[in-house]
């Protein structure tokens, strides 16, 4: 249908609505869950004109009701879904999960963060223990959160990859690199680079499959493992001259972070660089509003000031590199340091 001004919503406006408008998000999830999206894309969904979910989506400019009681996606929604459907669905589902936690347990988030973590369903979405193997059921349980993280990388990597200075580097190791989206963005910028993603076995299985058609896939390999082990992979028999942690260290209790960074420093080739790419503390953001912010707000207890990471790297004898930052949904910080040659 139309926006308030009477014009059809642009793809960008529609994408924002699908991340901010709760009734529209719930209605879209219902339509997806009952299997109607394929028919909508084909312009041939037969459903009553009074269908409530479709009525909500019609008012938001997502669907229209044509002749013969057939429903179809609007041209803007169809183009958006054909281009970004899997990513939009992944973000939609996690956004609703995070919003439900804030509605039910939000008071604890602001007064008892440990209590919030204990009650919130959000954290159970990331079923890391199920990713330790590659059985069919383990892959099925792992795919939802891998798809969600991959969807985030689709938006974040084009902005953040140019801020990771890899000039002269030949071997990159990304710790917790998920399906390889960020590593592939770095490979695309640096034709002489080879990259390895170290992640859990099911994640690597999914990532290898998902990245196979990418132009840089031949320069990317996946190494199933656990970053708590000292058995980190080498690339072509050599130590990496760059190690990247992209949106992964906030997952770890702070007591474990010095150990992980110490292992990285030992594994790094002399003259190599470590880069930490993380959102900063939510308290430092100028504005924290909108339903889409729920997906970050549930992680607010875990985001840290960039100075904390910089201090840990300096404490390992690494030489700091100029800090970088970029504003996306929040402010991302790129904290880099170099190992003396």
3-state secondary structure of 139: helix
Q: pLDDT tier at 135 (50, 70, 90 boundaries)?
A: very high
Instruction: Using the structure block, give the residue that is written with the tokens 């640096």.
Output: 190
- pLDDT for 177 beyond 90: yes
CB atoms within 10 A of CB 338: 19
- Closest listed residue to residue 201, CA positions, set 173, 220, 225: 225
Q: What percentage of the chain has pLDDT greater than the value 70?
A: 96
Q: pLDDT tier at 3 (50, 70, 90 boundaries)?
A: very low
Contacting residues for 116 by C-beta, under 8 A, at least 6 apart: 101, 105, 106, 108, 109, 298, 301
Q: Which helix (H) or strand (E) element contains residue 113? A: helix 113-119
Instruction: Using the structure block, give the residue that is written with the tokens 């150990």.
Output: 259
**Any idea where the domains of the chain sit in the sequence?**
11-80, 153-338
Q: What percentage of the chain has pLDDT greater than the value 90?
A: 74
Q: pLDDT tier at 43 (50, 70, 90 boundaries)?
A: confident
Mean pLDDT for the chain overall: 91
φ, ψ dihedrals at 296, nearest 5°: -95, -35
Convert the pLDDT of each residue in 306-336 to its tens digit: 999 999 999 999 999 999 999 999 999 999 9
- In the 8-state DSSP scheme, what is residue 100? H
- Closest listed residue to residue 163, CA positions, set 287, 275, 29: 275
Q: What is the pTM of this model?
A: 0.90
Residues in the chain, total: 341
Structural fold of domain 153-338: Rossmann fold (3.40.50)
The predicted pLDDT at position 114 comes to 87
3-state secondary structure of 243: strand
The predicted pLDDT at position 7 comes to 45
Q: What is the mean pLDDT of residues 270-280?
A: 97
CB 169 within 8 A of CB 193: yes
The predicted pLDDT at position 44 comes to 85
- Closest listed residue to residue 28, CA positions, set 66, 55, 1: 55
Convert the pLDDT of each residue in 287-300 to its tens digit: 777 888 889 889 98
Q: What is the mean pLDDT of residues 125-143?
A: 94
Q: pLDDT tier at 263 (50, 70, 90 boundaries)?
A: very high
Pairing relation of β-strands 242-246 and 273-279? parallel
CB 247 within 8 A of CB 279: yes
The predicted pLDDT at position 232 comes to 78
Convert the pLDDT of each residue in 143-164 to its tens digit: 999 999 999 999 999 999 999 9
Spatial distance between the Cα atoms of 157 and 150, rounded to a whole number of angstroms:
10
The predicted pLDDT at position 65 comes to 85
Convert the pLDDT of each residue in 65-100 to its tens digit: 876 678 999 999 999 999 999 999 999 999 999 999
Structure tokens at 78: 């169809």
């Amino acid at each position: 249908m139309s926006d308030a001004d009477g014009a059809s919503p642009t793809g960008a406006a529609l994408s924002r609505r699908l991340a901010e408008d709760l009734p529209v998000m719930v209605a879209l999830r219902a339509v997806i869950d009952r299997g109607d999206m394929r028919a909508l894309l084909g312009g041939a969904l037969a459903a009553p004109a009074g269908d409530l979910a479709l009525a909500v989506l019609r008012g938001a400019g997502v669907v229209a009701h044509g002749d013969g009681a057939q429903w179809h996606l609007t041209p803007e929604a169809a183009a958006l879904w054909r281009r970004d459907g899997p990513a939009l669905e992944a973000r939609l589902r996690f956004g609703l999960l995070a919003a439900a936690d804030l509605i039910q347990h939000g008071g604890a988030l602001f007064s008892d963060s440990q209590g919030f973590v204990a009650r919130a369903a959000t954290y159970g979405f990331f079923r890391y223990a199920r990713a330790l193997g590659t059985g069919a059921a383990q892959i099925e349980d792992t795919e939802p959160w891998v798809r969600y993280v991959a969807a985030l990388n689709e938006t974040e990597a084009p902005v953040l990859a140019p801020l990771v200075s890899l000039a002269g580097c030949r071997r990159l190791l990304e710790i917790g690199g998920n399906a390889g989206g960020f590593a592939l963005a770095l490979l695309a910028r640096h034709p002489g680079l080879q990259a390895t993603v170290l992640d859990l076995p099911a994640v690597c299985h999914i990532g290898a499959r998902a990245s196979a058609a990418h132009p840089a896939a031949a320069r990317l390999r996946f190494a199933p493992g656990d970053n708590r082990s000292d058995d980190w992979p080498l690339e072509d028999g050599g130590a990496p001259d760059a190690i990247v942690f992209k949106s992964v260290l906030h997952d770890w209790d702070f007591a474990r972070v010095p150990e992980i960074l110490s292992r990285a420093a030992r594994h790094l080739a002399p003259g190599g660089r470590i880069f930490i790419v993380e959102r900063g503390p939510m308290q430092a953001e100028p504005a924290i509003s909108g339903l889409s912010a729920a997906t970050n707000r549930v992680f607010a207890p875990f985001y840290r000031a960039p100075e904390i990471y910089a201090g840990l790297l300096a404490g390992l004898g690494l030489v700091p590199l100029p800090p970088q930052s970029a504003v996306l949904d929040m402010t991302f910080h790129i904290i880099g340091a170099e190992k003396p040659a």
